[in-house]
Amino acid sequence: MRIKELREAAGLSQRELGARIGVSGPAVAQWETGENRPSLTNLERLAEVLHTTTDAILGRDTAGA
Q: Give the predicted TM-score (pTM) of the model.
A: 0.88
- Give dist(CA 15, CA 49) in Å, integer: 13
In this prediction, residue 62 carries a pLDDT of 63
Whole-angstrom distance, CA of residue 40 vs CA of residue 29: 17
Please write the tens of the pLDDT for every residue from 22-63.
Answer: 999 999 999 999 999 999 999 999 999 999 999 999 998 765
In angstroms, rounded to a whole number, what is the distance separating the alpha carbons of residues 16 and 65?
Answer: 33
Domains along the sequence of the chain with CATH: 3-57 (1.10.260.40)
Q: Residue range 1-20: average pLDDT?
A: 97
| CA 51/CA 15 separation, integer angstroms | 18
